[in-house]
Structure 1
């Protein structure tokens, strides 16, 4: 390691507190609810319980990986000598590979990963042991909270520069005979903090610098804008890891919104050769391309042929070899990346707050946010529509935030079948979209697969369409309805309208009246306040009610508003205060999370999204009650009389049919492939909404696969700015366990039914290949199964696989990279190179299921076999 000199100075430094102070939120005491004692490590051999004492280092623990708990005092990890009943809990040198140190939460119990062996409290001062049964007294929580131990999950710290290709820090690590549990500046004269990326720096000398939010020496600055950029071309991280690395520096993966910015970046990376991750992604499977961090996607710089249509290519790279243009790739490739940090936070469009409906609008126009809006349904081409709006002293509508979008969707009479012109277009500069009224582009919300800019590149105008009112680029000569926006009438204020079916101060929408509470109170106080007005904390039945409430509170300066959803009765099972079924969810990023609590609507950039908050936090709130003299039409929940197709299972209480698809190993599918298969036959990957559906699916799995192989279901956690969701849009509210299985790693996982007799839900890498379960609605015609690609390969006499103009040899033997290369060269080949995604998928599918290292001549592809040789058909080395 350069600039690290280990001398007598280091001996002195080792006794000086040079590491980062351990954050309080990372360290916790392990509290037993029954005994009221805390875990204490008296020595590496004696782990017992004692009266809780926050100041005692012997009682402090922290997660140092997804499944390892470390004693802060001894820098060793909790573990067992074997997986047996009554096995003694002790401390061991931390080893990420040891199955005896891997723990997982089962609600409030703590168990050895994958085993029914639970941490048992025992009696005071007795050593803690494993037990085969989890008893009521074996409930462990973080001291001083109601949260289980896994709510304080570990987060990898990704390194910069160094010699480890951006690999995360390993804690604890050994340096000059001392264990370090945090980043340190030991041995450096420049004050930069660093960490080892293996357990022993003394042996491996692998390191990187730790991220910091306030250090600018690793950044380049655009002299024109003052924006900072960090080019991590030597790193090899997935898209999600790259984004996390940027966020750990108070930055974000690169977004490009201006042409000048693209030109500056092209020059900055001109000497680089490998593609670099940027923030562009299509990870929200219900919408189109978006920049991470919520920045508007208004400038397009795709390389020719991109974005490619493969369903797993959801993340974008900037390719220096193609004039810095963008391509879409699978998010799990390991690449370098670009971070971006603004010099200052700017909000180019400040919308008015407070009473935004006090303005006066012309007849038939509706006010919102200090402007007036109106839908016209007489079909016109885009320019004709703009002229029509101009004649009313307005322009085609510009939409600047989720609140305005929600208002248009819920209050202007928008229909799910509508296609309406809005003002966004790229008529002035191709691929650079602007609002026709000249206001800044601060918000975009594209439909899935959009924008496409098809029809010989002439889709220059934008429509609002679909049930969510998302956007698509379209040919400007289509005749469609349109939305106008104008300033209010000058010098005239409008008297606030009161619906006679609602009390003063309440707002009418549909069959209900709504009240915005103007005092900040706890959840229970808000509930009581609404009940005193003969109402209740609001429930949300669908996307349109959600859009209305977003528009109602979104312009407020308050961060949160309570709604009537919580899991106070049963942790993990969310219920409305009215007892209504949860038919719709709109979770924010990382939600519902692991902690029990009450649900509040966000405002600001995340307007309308749902966060789980401590119920004792004080926030404003939303009340709801039925409008006077209004009867809500009865909603039929009758189960369909239609039969399921032959071979599909159901129950008397569900409108869905389910079928498991079991395939040979080389025909199993990734999560994306399984979802596409289900959609092509008329359904989707299954959602599981209740115990009845869970039972149906468990029974069909037992019939189909007695060996308990995993089956994909529709649960996914891909969108970095969204929460858990089902692929068919069903609400996520069933099963407490999903909260613990899905939130201990970064977003990159998909849901499956586990490969164990209990058939529990598990999270898996989305590109693993498994069997799968499809769901179709009763009465839906079943379409023919799509024909998959042939998985039969020609094999030479000496065992080489023929694929196209190349031959491959997959070695089952483990060996070093150099020995693997020698073997390949002795057979007239070389270690495999992977030149495109088709070749990557071929190798991945051939070797799936073998979880050891594959040596290729490329660092960036994370594949899993011992070694692979590649040779041309004519015998010349590839």
Structure 2
């Protein structure tokens, strides 16, 4: 080095600014980004997300190249692109130029003229980059912030300020009105009653601001919510509050055209737009009332409708019904005919209506009749007039499965009739909507007509199909009632079929009193058989009047309550020792019988000793005229050995002659002998389940006096 030369020092190495912990470098920019996510309740609108990013020292993310599309996680989140002015189009919230775009196919589409903010979507971490979609700025979302590298984010402000006051009974206050979000699933009719019982009505929406306010209350939780708008058959709209229709917010392609069932309106949690639906759907709902509503006073009771029925219509409760059995139409033509007559195809919301219509069917010429239940263009069965679906009366057809509830469809038969078949009179059966049948119409009472309820036939015989039945209103013991009938050369009534059961049930409901019938096991050697000699091939026992031996206190516990409404209305678990038994007179294959028992909390029955054999034999014998045998849980294993499905040791048998010959066990109804069937054979079946202990045995309902025969009731005489 030359003398006097100065050594030049290299410049100090300057480290590039780093991203804060949890933040990621943005490609070629001196910025960092972070994906903010959390529970649904912490999501933000686009404006809230922008303010959050600015509070901590940054802004919503802007993107200016394909390299910047990769983020550290998948999902969807707000970015800074938005339409601040319709004349200028999309701009970035940080003021940077819009020099790169990466929209999804078909976006932005400004759906329903309500989407002005951009969200970033990436569904897989191995994607090359996310794409953009326009969305409603008021919807809730995760968000992406950006901040300059080297800058430490400030703590966010606490923005957990309650926007709206809440009343003591849980209603939100907004601009002089109260609103209640009812998250319990109900039909429209039930939801409306819920609102009215709280001095409100299903919500009327009169402006976009009100619509946005309501939508914001439901947008964080999934669901559809009834509002108070109705769609009439002619496509017109009206608010249930009788407020003029001044504002509408229909979703795309809504309301649905040519929709035969959809007369109610719901708001979606997703965008707050409206669509029409069947009023019988069980959905959430929104109530509204004036802020000056008398919330602490008793709601006035609902007054019963007044009026009468036109000629050829019959009044029952507060409705009019007519049966058209001399004209056969398709389901749709029948529906149109009922509407022309001022009504609709009949809905059957309760057992008493079913009993009334079954009785009227028996009095008329026998033919299958359309009712309003259908699943046209939908996955579930609904009443075409939108009534609640709390009651069912499904029947069963050989080689066809019946739906276990409204929510199962097994075939393409979308419409429903009340059957005129003697094997299931009055039961609901699925049929093709293009079949032609008679039909039942329902309509409201006509206020201009005087009420003329059908007279109750008392103390005189009424012809019902092949039977004649008389209701005797004198209170008598069972023995006195029997003697009274014998004076007419008749017997206490045998309820051998659906129509006699329906008539008797209807009389008991109307008179509000129990009625004696011709069952008394003390008169028939310990078996429940009718005293006139008819076998008991039809049963409809109440919860406290089940057929079977007296249960011993050595075997505590109770039978489980059937969860499915239709089974609870038709069958009852029968207690015996430590178990309960369900005798199901519906013929299905062995495997399907096992699956059905499992759905009801049990298994196909096993038989472990002569006492259990005698109990089961006694109960199946009453079905011998209708069902030759019942499946039990006996099967031949792949090793050729016979086993019980519940793994009970098989140390007792009762095989009939030349048995076993097939692969699955059954018990003969007439003899009690065990026989066998093939996998594809259809049989009735027996389920079994252990008893359960009640939650509070000390508070069990009293069972009543042991001598029921000493009671006095009205009675029924019959002869055939």
Higher relative contact order (CA 8 A, sep 6+): 2
TM-score (norm 1): 0.29
TM-score (norm 2): 0.34
Bigger Cα Rg = 2
